[in-house]
Structure formats: structure tokens, C-alpha cells
Amino acid sequence: MNFNSRAVSIIWRAGVLAVTLAVAAFTPALAQAPPAVPAASPAPASAAPAATPAPDAPPATAAPGAEAPPAEFRTLDQEVQGLKKDVIDLNKDLFVLEEELLFPANTQVAVFLSMDVGTFFALDSVTIKIDNKEVANYLYTAREADALLKGGVHRIYLGNQKVGKHELVAFFTGKGPVDRDYRRGATLTFEKGVGAKYLELKITDRVARHQPEFMVKDWE
């Protein structure tokens, strides 16, 4: 599905959802949820027997004991759950659409950061420059660094770059071996084509040299 038709589809679904919500809000069945009249109200002696339903009362399916919720409530709950799901789906589609709009695939460049083992390097921050212009600077908290060590991947940059050759320089700061302040850089020259470009900054341990290693990988 192309971009325009997706946008139209999302707007259409949003409209339908809004109408459904409006209808649900004004439905008399929702506005006046009927109490279990026969069972709950203490009937006066002169009144009709408790078992006799009122002429316009709903069928008292779950009235005795009121253990299970009435069928109307169950349906209502299902409807609400359905609407919630629709809202979540719509929100997801809007997010994707926004990303496509702001970062169209033909100019999109995304940079991810991953970390392996981390015995020789405790990550503090990463700065990214593309064509000598700083595009991202991220300070990692202990929790975020832990998440990376557990296999997490962080999208540190998402932006637009023209088609052609670009140079990416990443600076990593943190604590190196023997708790020393450590700052290293890694460079990659990449060719931006017509499609989206994905690059990965990878921090690994070089056991033989007892040093961390910093790489930039181009995902073709």
C-alpha cells in the first residue's frame, strides 16, 4: 500500500472510531445501565411479586444472586475492549506514518548501538558526527548500559541524509581497562543509496589485547 492510500486509510479508520465512540457515549443502554430491579429492591406488600418483570425491564438473566455480570455489561465490556484495541492499532499506524513522513525511506539514515560483553569498557556516552556535523550525543545511564550488555540495541540516531557519500565519526567515552577514562573514535565512509541506510556501532572486547574494540558496521 502506498503512502497516500495508507494515510487515507488511517484517517478513515480514525473517523469510524470517533463515530463509534460518539454512538457508544449516547446509547441509552450505556447511559442507563439497568439495575437488577426484581432481586435488589425490597418490594412493598402491595406491589407485584418480585419475580414479575416490569413491562420494559430487560430479561433478568443473571439477577438471582447477581454472581455473574449481566449480559449487557459483558457485551459492553467486549465493545470497550474492542475500541481500546482499535485505538492502539490506530496509534501504531500513526506512529509508522509519522516516521515515514518525517524520515522518508529514500533519505533515511539510522544508527544503532550494540555492546558485547563490556569487560574492558564501561560506556558513558556516544557522540555521532555525520559529515563533520554533530547529529547525536547520548549519555547512557547505568540502567541503559546494563540493557545494552544484556543484548539490547539502541537507536541512537534517525535522520535524513542526501544520496551520496558521507562520513560518519562516532566518539565513545567511558571507563576503559583498570578504570581509566577512555575516549575512542571510529570512522566509516558510507554510500547513501535510494533506500534507507542502517549503520551499527558495535562495542566488543578484544580479549587478546585486553582492550575494547569499536566498529561501525554498514547493514546493506
CA quadruple 38, 42, 48, 53: dihedral, nearest 10? -10
The reply on whether position 140 binds another protein by CB under 8 A is yes
The reply on whether position 144 binds another protein by CB under 8 A is yes
Number of alpha helices (DSSP H) and beta strands (DSSP E) in the chain: 5, 8
Q: Which stretch binds another protein (CB under 8 A): 37-45, 66-74, 135-143, 189-197?
A: 135-143
Q: Least CB distance from residue 174 to another protein, whole Å?
A: 10
The reply on whether position 129 binds another protein by CB under 8 A is no
- CB-CB contact of 97 with 183 (8 Å): no
The reply on whether position 125 binds another protein by CB under 8 A is yes
Q: 97, 189, 171: which is closest to 135 by C-alpha?
A: 171
Q: Which stretch binds another protein (CB under 8 A): 59-67, 69-77, 110-118, 139-147?
A: 139-147
The reply on whether position 172 binds another protein by CB under 8 A is no
Which of 86, 93, 116, 124 is close enough to bind another protein by CB under 8 A?
A: 124
Shorter beta-carbon distance to another protein: residue 142 or 178: 142
How far, in Å, CA of 69 to CA of 86, rounded? 24
Q: Which stretch binds another protein (CB under 8 A): 3-11, 21-29, 59-67, 137-145?
A: 137-145
Length of the chain: 220
How far, in Å, CA of 123 to CA of 145, rounded? 6
Q: Which stretch binds another protein (CB under 8 A): 65-73, 81-89, 96-104, 140-148?
A: 140-148
- CB-CB contact of 150 with 203 (8 Å): no
The reply on whether position 143 binds another protein by CB under 8 A is yes
**Residue 96 exposure: Cα atoms within 13 Å on the Cβ side:** 11
HEC string of 39-63 equals HHCCCCCCCCCCCCCCCCCCCCCCC
Shorter beta-carbon distance to another protein: residue 79 or 144: 144
User: For the chain, how big is the Rg over CA atoms in Å?
Assistant: 30
The reply on whether position 142 binds another protein by CB under 8 A is yes
The reply on whether position 141 binds another protein by CB under 8 A is yes
Q: Least CB distance from residue 8 to another protein, whole Å?
A: 31
The reply on whether position 80 binds another protein by CB under 8 A is no
- CB-CB contact of 156 with 112 (8 Å): yes
Q: Least CB distance from residue 141 to another protein, whole Å?
A: 5
Which residues of this protein are in contact with another protein, per CB under 8 A? 124-125, 138-144
